[in-house]
Amino acid sequence: MQSLKLQGEVIASGLQFPEGPVALPDGSVLVVEIAGGRLLRVSPDRRVSVVATLGGGPNGAALGPDGQCYVCNNGGFSWRTEDGFTRPIGPATDYAGGSIQRVDVETGAVTTLYTHCDGVSLHGPNDIVFDAHGGFWFTDFGKTFEDRILRGAVYYARADGSAIRRAAHPVLTPNGIGLSPDGHTLYVSETETSRLWSYAIEAPGVLTQEPWPSPCGGRLVHGLPGYQRFDSLAVEQGGNICVATLVRGGISVFSPSGQWLEFHEAPEGYCTNICFGGADLRTAYITLSGYGQLLAVPWPRAGLVL
C-alpha cells in the first residue's frame, strides 16, 4: 500500500459540515451543509451561494438525468464544536425520519420524493448514485441513539417518485455507494466496521445476495485493520474504489479484487466524501467536514461522474 498526502487547494471554507460534492459541467461544485441544512454552489471563482434550504440533514447528492440535484436527507444531527472543529453526536432533537429530496438547481425549488418504503420510515438516507436506467441506488445509514441503533439498508428508487424498493437489509451503518464502470457491480461502504462490500446487480433494484455468513448479502472487498471508519466513496474509470476514511483521515483506494492500493492522507480526521470533475475528470473534490472545507486535488487517474 502506497502512502501519499493530499496536495490541493481549499476552494471553500467556513462551511457547516460539508458533504456530498457534485461537480457540474460549468466548473462549479454543489455541496451540502449537513449542519446548515442547505445546498450550496461553489463557483469557479470560489464564490459560495445558496441554491436551496433543505432543513434536516442533507447528506449525499447527485445530479439526475433531468439535470436536477437529488439529495439524501438524514433527518438531522445534534452537534458539538470544540476549537473550531464540528462533529455529529446524535440525532437532532426534532428528528422525525429521513427523506429523498429533489432540488431544481436553477430555481431552488425543493420536492420531497420519498419518506417511506413499504410503510417503513427512512431512517437516515446518506449517499446516492444514478444508474444507466435513470433510477438511483442509495444507502440508508440507519440512526444511532444513545441506547440503540436502527439498522440501515440499501434502496433503489425511480427519479420521478413513482417506486422505491429495499434491495439489501440489514446493513450496519451503510454509507458510501457507487457503481463499477460497467454498471454491473454496486459498492457499499460501512462506517463502523470499515468494510467495503460489493453486490452483483441482477436488474434495476435487484441485487445478488451472498449466503450466510455474509451479514448483509454482500461480498467483502476489503476491511481495514485497527480503528478506522468509512464514509462516502467514488469510483475511478479504471474500476478502483476510492473510500473516504475517518479517524486517520484520508482517501483509501482499493482495486475491485480487494487490494489496498493507496492511502491519500488528509489534513483532518473527518475526510468525508470525494467526487471527480474537471475537463478530464482528474480533479478530486474532497470534503473536510470537521473544519468546514472543500478541497480540490489533482488525482492520479480519471474518475467516473456520479
User: What pLDDT score was predicted for residue 17?
Assistant: 98
User: What pLDDT score was predicted for residue 279?
Assistant: 86
Mean pLDDT of 83-102: 95
Taking the C-alpha atoms of residue 79 and residue 33, their distance in angstroms, rounded to an integer, is 13
Mean pLDDT of 230-243: 98
- The answer to whether the beta carbons of residues 40 and 51 sit under 8 Å apart is yes
User: What pLDDT score was predicted for residue 255?
Assistant: 98
Give one DSSP letter per residue of 204-250, joined into a string: TTEEPPPPTT-SSSPEEEEE-SSS-EEEEEEEBTTS-EEEEEETTTE
User: Mean pLDDT of all residues in the chain?
Assistant: 97
Predicted confidence (pLDDT) per residue in 245-254, tens digit = 999 999 999 9
- Does residue 306 surpass a pLDDT of 90? no
Predicted confidence (pLDDT) per residue in 203-213, tens digit = 999 999 999 99
User: What pLDDT score was predicted for residue 229?
Assistant: 97
The proportion of the chain whose per-residue pLDDT surpasses 90, expressed as a percent, equals 98
Mean pLDDT of 226-253: 97
Predicted confidence (pLDDT) per residue in 260-291, tens digit = 999 999 999 999 999 999 989 999 999 999 99
Mean pLDDT of 172-184: 98
The proportion of the chain whose per-residue pLDDT surpasses 70, expressed as a percent, equals 100
Mean pLDDT of 4-32: 96
Question: What domains lie within the chain, and their CATH numbers?
Answer: 21-233 (2.120.10.30)
User: What's the longest Cα–Cα distance across the chain?
Assistant: 52
Give one DSSP letter per residue of 271-283, joined into a string: EEEEEEESTTS-E
User: What pLDDT score was predicted for residue 237?
Assistant: 98
Mean pLDDT of 35-64: 97
- Does residue 295 surpass a pLDDT of 90? yes
